[in-house]
A = this chain, B = another copy of it.
Amino acid sequence: MITLISDFGTSDPYVGIMKGVILSKDPSAVIVDITHEIAPQDVAEAAYAIYSAYRYFPPGSIHVLVVDPGVGSHRAIIAVSMAGYYFLAPDNGVLSLVLESGNVDFITTVENDSYFLKPVSRTFHGRDIFAPVAGHLSNGLPIDRLGSEIKTDNAVHLELPMPYQSQTGEIAGTVINVDRFGNLITNIDHPFIQKTFGLVSERDLNISIGTHQIAGLSACYEDAGSQSLLAIVGSMGFIEISVNCGSASEFCKQTRGSVVSITAVDRK
């Protein structure tokens, strides 16, 4: 199984062409689109997308990421074996969150052009390198044939915003994504809240964004009135700010990068 994440969109034939090349190499490959609507060149958005998705695919799946503003330059392409999955991506940090989330077995550069489509174009390595290499991996090619092993520490690392406890005690986090529903997905997860505040009840958390205050976490969207603001533990374990049957992004006029803070009520 091969999954695809890119910033190609679905209006142009680019994604279809990549699938044609993959299936020319391995006609039995099952290809699943994770998303092609990453904002152009937005490596961080793609890093979150693959981090949230990769574990839900069968072992052996090959995850291919083509968000690649450096295409055709001297940036490397890397292939990774980790946690029973393969990953194929430009070495631009798009795999940062994945690599931090498990034990890497092997990383190699992708340089052996006998697995490329030739001539390699200047602008579309998705077609000429990523797709045929994914097809070869899917056919059983050992990953160490692709290039030279590198150390995990030598892969490009992307600095992504992390939550922290401020001097005044509250958790300071960031909106890392806004989904189609307008949910504001933060980088604050439940373990971090517990580490900071101890075993605090969800009722005793106060969440602030912009001028809005939310008291406690909800068990479901309908716990809040229709069109009302709420906070909830989202499907990836991060705190999300939502509006029941509406868009929190529009309601709060907040977006990716917005600051979110959480305090705990002192019941002493």
Contact = CB atoms under 8 A, between A and B. Distances in A.
Contact of A12 (B69, B124, B179): B179
Interface string A74-85: 000000000000
A216 interface: no
A127 B7 CA distance: 24
A57 interface: yes
B57 A23 contact: yes
7 residue pairs, one from A and one from B, having the closest CB atoms? A72-B220, A124-B235, A16-B34, A9-B180, A11-B37, A20-B56, A20-B57
Most buried by B among A1, A7, A19, A242: A19
Interface stretch (A24-32, A98-106, A148-156, A161-169): A24-32
Interface string A1-15: 101010111111111
B24 A122 contact: no
A3 B20 contact: yes
Interface string A50-92: 0011001110010000000111110000000000000000000
A3 B24 CA distance: 13
Contacts of A251: none
Contact of A123 (B71, B177, B234, B245): B234
A57 to B, nearest CB: 4
A15 B8 CA distance: 17
Contacts of A235: 121-124, 127-128
Given A56-B127, A72-B220, A12 B24 contact: no
A17 interface: yes
A228 to B, nearest CB: 13
A16 B35 contact: yes
B58 A181 contact: no
Interface string A31-55: 0111111001100000001001100
A233 interface: yes
A232 interface: yes
A73 B220 contact: yes
B19 A23 contact: no
A141 interface: no
Contacts of A19: 32
A31 to B, nearest CB: 8
A32 B8 CA distance: 16
A245 B177 CA distance: 21
Nearest to A131: B56
A139 B212 CA distance: 47
